[in-house]
Amino acid sequence: MSNLPLPTLPLHGILVADFSRVLAGPLCTQLLADEGARVIKVEEPGRGDETRHWGPPFLGDVSTYFLAINRNKESIAIDLRSPEGAELARQLIERADVIVDNFLPAQRAALLPEIGADKIHCSITGFDGDTGEANTPGYDLLAQAGAGLMSITGEPAGEPAKTGVALSDVLTAHYAHGAICAALVARERGGGGARIEVSLFGATLASLINVAQGALVTGNEARRYGNAHPSIVPYQLFHASDRVFAVGAGTERHYRLLCERVIERPELASDARFASNAKRVENRGVLVPLLDEIFRTRAAADWIARCRAAAIPCSLVQGVLEALRSEAAQPMIAKAGEYDTLLNPVRFDGARLPIRSAPPKLGEHTDEITREIRETTRDSTQTETPPERR
């Protein structure tokens, strides 16, 4: 599948000043960069974004963590506490369409110059600014713990568990990206700038979706179901004779076909205890062990073939490397300089968003961007009409 050329990218011509670091902010700005925005990543001299050093694994002296979330960007290393750095940041912000940061309120006030009302300014925080936790630093682990995600993840009889990836950060990044794009549309329609705030706690809580809604309506604390579903049965992992696989019989038709055509046990479809999804949820303790015993009699590949022949959703439980090597993943893998990486999953009119550049070295573009800003400032000053001629 071909990649979109630069002028065709939806955010071509948009300049983003990125003062964020770690995961949520950089992932948000990478999404904007993938869509064509010019993203200038502002980093601390000598140290840079903390994730540059979060490893192993490393590629050379840069962590794979950093590589995953900073492609298609430029890096400028400036000391925001110095007069020269503060002035360069002010000039960059003056030219930017979008400013992204993840400072605490006191840090933001001390390090960021004043941002005009015509700008789209997105702050990624730990907690919302209209709460008593506004000054509390935010971390993915704490967001998963505090917002309830951890309490519904893991085996029912086990301890709460975090997800295998920093999901609170990832969710926050996507909420922020969507809000920024919405603000750009509003500006294009004649609106002004926007002041956007997205918190890790809020994004995680909002992403609990049906679980949070159920708790609000019933007043009951949400439970852990391990790899099962609280409201759909069977919709979980099962053990085949050789490995684990997932079955999602989410409709009455799916369940009937599962019984009749896949496991060849039609009496389980007509059994009054399992005659509706609500009944199956009520009697999951009876049905699931029966299904698991049946599934253990054949290899997972056999069950996958049978399920797919009956149009029942199913999948092997693959390792990450196994998934990356699968046929379905191949169109999403491309080169970023010397290493393979995953493309943005979005396609526009069938075309994939290109990798225009590998993640930058710390301060790689400092001289170039500084010179560009100074020349632009000098040119704009020289073209101004003298006061006596206005």
- Is 238 within 8 Å of 291 (Cβ atoms)? yes
Q: Comparing C-alpha atoms, which of 260, 235, 258 is closest to residue 248?
A: 235
Residue 130 annotated in active site: no
The helix/strand/coil state of 77 is strand
Q: Comparing C-alpha atoms, which of 122, 153, 150, 124 is closest to residue 137?
A: 124
Catalytic pick among 18, 49, 101, 169:
169
Residue 355 to residue 34: CA distance in whole angstroms? 7
- Is 77 within 8 Å of 47 (Cβ atoms)? no
Alpha helices in the chain, H assignment, sequence order: 24-34, 64-68, 83-95, 105-111, 140-146, 167-188, 200-206, 209-218, 252-257, 267-270, 277-282, 284-295, 300-309, 320-324, 366-383
The angle, 0 to 180 degrees and rounded to 10, between the axes of the packed helices 83-95 and 366-383 is 70
Residue 130 neighbours by CB distance under 10 Å: 7
Between the alpha carbon of residue 260 and those of residues 252, 256, 293, the distances in Å are 12, 6, 16
Residue pointed to by tokens 């926050």: 172
Q: Which residues are catalytic?
A: 169
